[in-house]
């Protein structure tokens, strides 16, 4: 982590207990249950009520946490609107439940909402043939595929059905919350149309997963769009954030602690991925499958629980090099895709 990053002395709100830490005037930090560190949720005072940014993962523990929050952090005042930064379950999982519970509208970018609806409605009774073909092409064996089949229902289990209507937000839109103006900044790559929120008056940036302080956002090629190049999109979005957003904001990420040093963190992410791409290109002097390049990209061993994410990230890096005209991919007679440098 670059030395330019700094973490102000802000007390950590307890996970799942419904208490909040004040970040700035009218801005409060809650943490909902998810693993050891939870998932960050932001409550913004909005006149007589609240705007909530992100909702947490669907679980009985998160339902209990929200009931605590209603009476503790939110002091019984109504939730007037729910903003979800992007479709991933730790952000959107409780949006449907919360919207129904408090009768508040859901605000998302259009592509995030429509993709969420499509994925949530997708049948999980049987893994599609195209998905099996996709994972066979990267080098998965039958044991890997069986493990994937057993876990494929996880997406629905972590997501309440989203509301049937929503309010679309767009890049550059100015949203008035209370007496503060927040500007929507859209990025892509980690998800289709991820929305961050910048408040110039308070010098705050709710970054979601677009910029995280200690880990790099997962950027993956998915079976639904096997020829995508999400890493190029994500790197371009990071560069745009660095150009368009000031460096003096306090970044409020979805995971980890609030921090200063937005530009330094973006530089570290850009440089880190460029180094990984350089190492990967060198490795491809010999043809490789996506699963063969894990040691180049990851410092840890990849077990079956991490296999899907690691595969997606490997493909994203390979597709980025292909987009730059540095590698090609070829499918052999068994349907396995091999990548090699030009």
Could you tell me the CATH number of the domain that includes residue 234?
3.60.15.10
Q: Looking at residues 246-260, what average pLDDT do you find? A: 97
Q: Looking at residues 89-93, what average pLDDT do you find? A: 95
The overall longest dimension of the chain from CA atoms, in Å, is 65
What is the spatial distance between Cα 79 and Cα 87, in angstroms, rounded to a whole number? 20
Q: Report the share of the chain in percent with pLDDT over 90.
A: 88
User: Model confidence over 195-245: pLDDT tens digits?
Assistant: 999 999 999 999 999 999 999 999 999 999 999 999 999 999 999 999 999
> Residue 61's pLDDT is what?
96
Helix (H) or strand (E) holding 62: helix 60-71
Q: Report the share of the chain in percent with pLDDT over 70.
A: 96
What is the spatial distance between Cα 180 and Cα 4, in angstroms, rounded to a whole number? 28
Confidence grade of residue 313 (pLDDT, cut at 50, 70, 90): very high
pLDDT over threshold 60, residue 137: yes
> Residue 24's pLDDT is what?
95
> Residue 4's pLDDT is what?
85
4 domain residue, yes or no: no
> Residue 140's pLDDT is what?
97
Q: Looking at residues 248-257, what average pLDDT do you find? A: 97
98: which 2 tokens? 């919360």
Confidence grade of residue 1 (pLDDT, cut at 50, 70, 90): very low
Do residues 212 and 253 make contact, with C-beta atoms less than 8 angstroms apart?
A: yes
> Residue 125's pLDDT is what?
62
Side-chain-side CA neighbours of residue 211 (13 Å): 37
Q: Which of 290, 334, 336 is nearest to 312 (CA)?
A: 290
214 domain residue, yes or no: yes
327: which 2 tokens? 């590698």
Q: What residues make up the domain containing 176?
A: 21-330+337-341
186 domain residue, yes or no: yes
12 domain residue, yes or no: no
User: Model confidence over 12-38: pLDDT tens digits?
Assistant: 999 999 999 999 999 999 999 998 889
pLDDT over threshold 70, residue 123: no
Q: What angle do CA 215, 219, 224 make, to 5 degrees?
A: 150
Do residues 187 and 211 make contact, with C-beta atoms less than 8 angstroms apart?
A: no
1 domain residue, yes or no: no
11 domain residue, yes or no: no
Residue linked to tokens 């929200």: 66
> Residue 296's pLDDT is what?
95
Q: How many residues does the chain have?
A: 342
120: which 2 tokens? 């949530």
> Residue 183's pLDDT is what?
98
User: Model confidence over 263-298: pLDDT tens digits?
Assistant: 999 999 999 999 999 999 999 999 999 999 999 999
> Residue 282's pLDDT is what?
96
| Rounded (to 5) percent helix, strand, coil in the chain | 35, 25, 40
Rounded to 5 degrees, φ, ψ at 250 are -85, 120
What is the spatial distance between Cα 145 and Cα 74, in angstroms, rounded to a whole number? 45
Give me the helices (H) in the chain, please. Answer: 60-71, 89-92, 95-102, 110-121, 129-138, 142-151, 154-157, 230-244, 262-283, 294-297, 304-323
> Residue 3's pLDDT is what?
53
Do residues 303 and 288 make contact, with C-beta atoms less than 8 angstroms apart?
A: no
What is the spatial distance between Cα 32 and Cα 62, in angstroms, rounded to a whole number? 6
9 domain residue, yes or no: no
pLDDT over threshold 80, residue 116: yes
290 domain residue, yes or no: yes
What is the spatial distance between Cα 145 and Cα 290, in angstroms, rounded to a whole number? 15
Domain count of the fold of the chain: 1
Give me the chain's average pLDDT, please. Answer: 94
Taking the model in full, what pTM does it have? 0.95
3-class SS of residue 164: coil
Q: Looking at residues 54-81, what average pLDDT do you find? A: 97
Q: Report the DSSP beta bridge partners of residue 51.
A: 44, 81
> Residue 122's pLDDT is what?
61
> Residue 2's pLDDT is what?
43
Confidence grade of residue 155 (pLDDT, cut at 50, 70, 90): low
């Amino acid at each position: 982590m670059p030395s330019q990053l700094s973490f102000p002395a802000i007390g950590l709100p307890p996970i799942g207990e419904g208490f909040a830490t004040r970040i700035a005037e009218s801005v409060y930090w809650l943490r909902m249950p998810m693993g050891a560190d939870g998932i960050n949720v932001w409550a913004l005072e909005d006149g007589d009520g609240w705007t909530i940014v992100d909702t947490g993962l669907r679980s009985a523990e998160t339902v209990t946490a929200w009931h605590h929050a209603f009476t503790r952090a939110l002091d019984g005042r109504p939730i007037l609107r729910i903003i979800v930064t992007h479709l991933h379950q730790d952000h959107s999982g409780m949006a449907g439940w919360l919207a129904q519970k408090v009768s508040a509208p859901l605000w998302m970018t259009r592509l995030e909402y429509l993709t969420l609806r499509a994925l949530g409605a997708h049948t999980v009774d049987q893994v599609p043939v195209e998905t099996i073909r996709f994972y066979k092409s990267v080098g998965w064996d039958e044991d890997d595929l069986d493990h994937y089949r057993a876990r494929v229902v996880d997406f629905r289990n972590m997501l309440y059905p989203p509301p049937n209507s929503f309010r679309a937000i767009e890049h550059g839109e100015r949203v008035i919350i209370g007496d503060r103006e927040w500007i929507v900044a859209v990025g892509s790559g980690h998800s289709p149309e991820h929305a961050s929120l910048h408040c110039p008056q308070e010098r705050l940036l709710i970054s979601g997963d677009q910029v995280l302080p200690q880990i790099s956002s997962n950027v993956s090629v998915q079976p639904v769009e096997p020829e995508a190049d999400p890493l190029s999109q994500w790197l371009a979005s990071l560069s745009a954030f660095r150009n368009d957003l000031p460096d003096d904001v306090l970044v409020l990420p979805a995971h980890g602690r609030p921090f200063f040093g937005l530009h330094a963190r973006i530089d570290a992410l850009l440089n880190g991925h460029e180094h990984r791409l350089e190492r990967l290109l060198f490795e491809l002097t010999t043809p490789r499958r996506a699963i063969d390049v894990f040691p180049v990209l990851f410092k840890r061993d990849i077990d079956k629980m991490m296999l899907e994410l690691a595969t997606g990230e490997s493909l994203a890096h390979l597709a980025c090099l292909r987009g730059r005209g540095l590698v090609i991919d070829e499918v052999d007679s068994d349907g396995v895709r091999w990548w090699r440098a030009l």
